[in-house]
Amino acid sequence: MLSRRLTLTVFLTLCHIPLARSQETPQAQLSNLLRQVDTMSATVQQLIVESDGAVLEESSIQMHVMRPDGFYWETLEPFPELVVTNGAVLWNYQPDLEQVVIENWDSNRAELAAELLSGRTDSLTEEYEIHIEKDTGEDMAVFQLLPLDQNSLYRRINISFENTALLSIHLDSKNGQKTLWQFNQQQINQQLSPDLFNFQIPSGIDIVDNRVSQE
């Protein structure tokens, strides 16, 4: 479930803002990019590879993001699943199991993905050492994030941009597992309905409500 939520994540492409590499630190460049997107829709190809090189999973995903906390991540194949949140409630719907799990959404406990999603990038510099791993001019940049917390799940995270558009996110876990998200068919700052981020529970399915009272 945590790895699915992670998906909440991470991404945000930026529209047509040149990277001021010579005048800004890597931290400032990445923050500026991530703050430019109010909404984003994209198809995502996910590849998960084990430490021995074996492919664990290949998935096709439809993603929608709306600041500050709207997130929609639907795995289309091979195993349909939907994770969606409006910033207060998180729904995890698994059609094959005819089940939806409902939880409180707490962005303060979220992983990197949720930090990028929210646009609250100040904590990035507190939690990660940020470098530009590859800079090939005005069109291409790869940011490398190295966790400062020794208990982090990740060894490193690479975020690749071209012409300020998000190309991919590569998560390198300490257990040797690698996850790659490739972003395609992006639509930036197009109008999205808030209803998209409020899941309407189908009739006849099991409901597991794990929400804790906020009182």
Higher pLDDT, 109 or 199: 199
Task: Report long-range pairs for 48-51 (Cβ below 8 Å, ≥24 apart).
Answer: 48/177, 48/178, 48/179, 48/180, 49/177, 49/178, 49/179, 49/180, 50/176, 50/177, 51/175, 51/176, 51/177
Tell me how far apart the 2 most distant CA atoms of the chain are, in Å. Answer: 58
* Confidence tier at 215 by pLDDT (50, 70, 90): low
The SS3 call for residue 215 is coil
Q: What is the pLDDT of residue 15?
A: 30
Q: What is the pLDDT of residue 178?
A: 94
Q: What is the pLDDT of residue 33?
A: 77
Q: Name the residue ranges covered by the structural domains of the chain.
A: 2-209
Q: What is the pLDDT of residue 110?
A: 56
| Average pLDDT of span 158-163 | 84
Whether residue 136 has pLDDT greater than 60: no
Phi/psi of residue 100, nearest 5 degrees: -130, 130
* Confidence tier at 40 by pLDDT (50, 70, 90): confident
For residues 127 and 22, give the distance between their C-alpha atoms in angstroms, rounded to a whole number.
24
Do β-strands 81-85 and 39-49 pair in parallel, antiparallel, or remain unpaired? unpaired
Q: What is the pLDDT of residue 17?
A: 33
Q: What is the pLDDT of residue 71?
A: 87
Q: What is the pLDDT of residue 48?
A: 94
Residue 47 is inside which H or E element, if any? strand 39-49
Indicate the CATH number of 2-209 among 2.130.10.10, 3.40.50.300, 3.40.50.12780, 2.50.20.10: 2.50.20.10
* Confidence tier at 39 by pLDDT (50, 70, 90): confident
- Per cent of the chain over pLDDT 70 is 78
| Average pLDDT of span 98-103 | 96
Write the pLDDT tens digit of every residue in 53-78: 999 999 999 999 888 788 899 999 88
For residues 80 and 128, give the distance between their C-alpha atoms in angstroms, rounded to a whole number.
33
